[in-house]
Amino acid sequence: MRILVAEDDLVSLRLLQAFLVDWGYEVTCATDGEKALAVLQSPESPPLAILDWSMPGMEGVEVCREVRKRNKRPYIYLLMLTAKAKKQDIVKGLECGADDYLIKPYDAHELRARLRAGRRILDLQEQLVSAHSLIEMRMAVDPLTGVGSRDEILDILKRQLILSSRCGSPMSLVLANIDRFRDITATFGSLAGDAALREVAKRIRGALRPPDSIGRTAADEFAMVLPGCDAPAAASLAERFRARVDRRSIDTSEAVIPVTMSFGVVTTLSKKALDLDQVWCSATEAVSRAKANGRNRVEFATL
């Protein structure tokens, strides 16, 4: 593991460096606080640091304070090494952001043990970050179909609506519902319904342009956000989606099932700020018209 040692006394620095190299650490050295802070703020900063309290330019406690102020990620474990032994000094060092405090003259075995404790904390931190990233990823993806989740596609839609109103560029929202999906699951079972959903998502995703996004927003509903897409282009894309779903039946383990979808399209046309609910409701109404007019068709909404 990489570690920074900040110590202005060269004899103490070399002795500490020798210990650390012998323990298997990759050591970076700094002889003043400003250099130490520069290392800790770099993109490839070591995850561990041993800081002397008294250094020219910037004291170790100031370095701790600056590192914590910037809330750098991933976390850096800071160990203060100093001759200051009063309780108020220890408290000050910890309050400034140090994780541990070792008083000079230090015992090498104790230092090694404290560094191991720091590494355990860093390992736990890494596990927490990984778990958090996994949770965020799962929240962003619909687990059945692999397309975006409802929250993810709504967030994308919000951002695109803001961008569209600021720049005056068009964007379109396409909503699509599988026709008679309840009949499919009632007749062929939920596994066949799941297979149909996965295949529908795959077919639509295969027709998207690079900037477009797709998400599953309800049991049998998908939303496609199409940046920079005016009404004629949105009509063409929606018809392409419809045709790709309808072109052949879906082969499931239960049966070969014919599947169609009804589409509703809404396009922003000006710099007028549009509310997400307004756009969504307009697209939903267009889907309802498509259902009422015979299904397996595309209908359009105006704002």
Instruction: Give the pLDDT of the chain (303 residues) as one tens digit per residue.
Output: 899 999 988 999 999 999 999 999 999 999 999 999 999 998 889 999 999 998 888 999 999 999 998 766 788 999 998 888 888 888 888 888 999 999 888 899 999 999 999 998 888 888 777 766 666 566 789 989 999 999 999 999 999 998 888 888 899 999 999 999 999 999 999 999 999 999 999 999 999 999 999 999 999 999 999 999 999 999 999 999 999 999 999 999 889 999 999 999 999 876 666 789 999 999 999 999 999 999 999 999 977
Domain stops at, among 139, 163, 190: 139
Residues 119 and 8 in one domain: yes
Q: How many domains does the chain have?
A: 2
Domain stops at, among 94, 114, 139: 139
**Among residues 70, 82, 12, 20, which one has the least CA distance to residue 40?**
70
Tell me which residue range forms the domain holding 59. 2-139
The reply to whether the predicted model has a pTM over 0.75 is no
Residues 194 and 265 in one domain: yes
Asked if residue 145 is part of any domain, the answer here is no
Residues 195 and 227 in one domain: yes
Residues 154 and 133 in one domain: no
Domain stops at, among 105, 139, 173: 139
Amino acid at 132: H
